[in-house]
Amino acid sequence: MAQKVAITGNEAVALAMKQINPDVVAAYPITPQTEIVQIFSTYVSNGLVDTEFVTVESEHSAMSASVGAAAAGARAMTATSANGLALMWEVVYIAASNRLPIVMPVVNRALSGPINIHCDHSDAMGARDSGWIQLWSENTQEAYDNMIQAVRIAEHPQVQLPVMVCLDGFIISHAMENAEVLPDEVVREFIGEYVPQKTLLDKEHPVTAGPLAFTDSYFEFKRAQAEAMLQAKPHILEVAREFAKISGRQYGLFEAYKLEDAEIGIVVLGSTAGTAKNVVDKLRAQGVKAGLLKLRVFRPFPAEELAAALGHLKALAVMDRADSFNAFSGPLYAETAAAMYDSGAQTKMVNYIYGLGGRDVGLDDIEKVYGHLARIAESGKVDQRLNYLGVRE
């Protein structure tokens, strides 16, 4: 029977890792992720898991050790944040290219510089084209649930790709919330025993890992990798349906909140969705037809499904907690706009960059965005596409 507990996001992720009982965890600390591997290390030292816990000298080494373990047939995991993810950069790409089903919680934190330890999405957004599946969490419950589902998604025979489980630093990682956790045996049965398709230790069926590939073969490797990401979408939904059977919690590619009859709406990732839902409720009580789409799966990007859910809106704001510095928009806006354009939707769109370096975004801030959308919906004109919310300028 599931148990309701008060737990932080980092504790919930570490608990999910304990229940998964991976073969190898390569660990290196970085704020605000450190607690995950620290808590998990106590499970190792107390004999509650069978994991080989590898303490390494850097995040580059942590991902390298995870790649080596996964290539040898182990169920491998690590965790990181911000500058740590950046230091992994080379090997993050190698993990995806080698089709290794590593699962890595990423506790989202601003990338330097200046040095900042608080939340924004610049770390995971910087890695958006690395070939990793990305699942995003609104709260502690979703971080826990996404961790468990990530294992099944990564290891699916038609996917075989690594997965990042993203949760907002400090806002989720260190805040205590009520969450429902599953019994260990239920999680173990759900994820099942890992049977790798190929391993370096199989002497009867030798394979090459990390080969040199020139012009005659490199493109084919990349095409196969791209096809795996295309195939991932239905399997993410398949795993979600099966997870609902054991948890009662249903997940999709995104959550549409009061969106069906909405005239104005917001697209957002992570914990800000909870704040925005409160604003939607307030505006609805005032007769404003406001809605929200909280994206859960950023990679693979659900372009067609997203456009179908948003195409009826008169005005839409896409909120980015990261800036692309391309003098056009943030990363989430660019992909959402492309999806909407391809669908033929006539929705007027604006972009808001917000919350960089952990700057708070409150109810009043979100209300300002909806107020802007209401004016656009009435006039039919976009006065300023790129906006910065809550910044002194």
Provide the token pair at 44.
């190792």
Residue 1 has pLDDT above 80, yes or no: no
Name the strand (E) or helix (H) holding 340. Answer: helix 331-343
Q: Which residue has the tokens 């939340």?
A: 119
What is the C-alpha separation between 176 and 228, in angstroms, rounded? 36
Residue in the structure block whose two tokens are 């991902």: 63
Task: From 188, 196, 169, select the one nearest 50 (Cα to Cα).
Answer: 188
d(CA 297, CA 295) in angstroms, rounded, equals 6
Q: For the segment 207-234, what is each residue's pLDDT rounded down to a tens digit?
A: 888 889 999 999 999 999 999 999 999 9
Domain regions of the chain by residue span: 3-247, 254-389
Pairing, β 52-55 against β 24-27: parallel
What backbone phi and psi angles, to 5 degrees, belong to 252? -135, -160
Could you tell me how far CA 190 lies from the centroid of its own chain? 21
Q: Report strand pairing: 3-8 vs 176-181.
A: antiparallel
Answer yes or no: is pLDDT of 3 > 80.
yes
**More confident site: 80 or 207:** 80
* CA separation for the pair 159, 152 (Å, rounded): 10
Other C-beta atoms within 10 Å of 323: how many? 19
pLDDT computed for residue 211 by the predictor: 86
How many other C-beta atoms lie within 10 A of the C-beta of residue 214? Answer: 6
Q: Tokens representing 134?
A: 């990305």
Tell me how far apart the alpha carbons of residues 248 and 144 are, in angstroms, rounded to a whole number.
14
- The pLDDT score that the predictor gives to residue 14 is 98
198 CB burial (10 A radius; 0-12, 13-18, 19+): middle
CATH topology for the 3-247 domain:
Rossmann fold (3.40.50)
pLDDT value at residue 274: 98
For residues 67 and 91, the answer to whether their CB atoms sit within 8 Å is yes
What is the pLDDT at residue 25?
A: 98
pLDDT value for 209: 86
The number of residues making up the chain comes to 393
pLDDT for residue 210: 85
Residue 110: name the closest of 169, 36, 194 by CA.
169
Q: Which residues pair with 105 in a beta bridge?
A: 165
Q: Which CATH architecture has domain 254-389?
A: 3-Layer(aba) Sandwich (3.40)
Report the DSSP pairing between strands 290-295 and 297-299. Answer: unpaired
**CA distances for 160 relative to 90, 129, 187, 228, 234, angstroms:** 19, 17, 20, 7, 14
Average pLDDT rounded to a whole number, residues 224-247: 98
59-73, 194-208, 233-247: the lowest-pLDDT one: 194-208
Cβ 256 vs Cβ 343: under 8 Å = no
Same CATH topology for 3-247 and 254-389: the answer is: yes
pTM summary value: 0.98
- Does the structure show a pLDDT above 80 at 104? yes
Type of residue at 203: K
Distances in Å between the alpha carbon of 4 and those of 141, 168, 182, 323?
Answer: 10, 22, 9, 37
pLDDT band at 318 (very low <50, low <70, confident <90, very high): very high
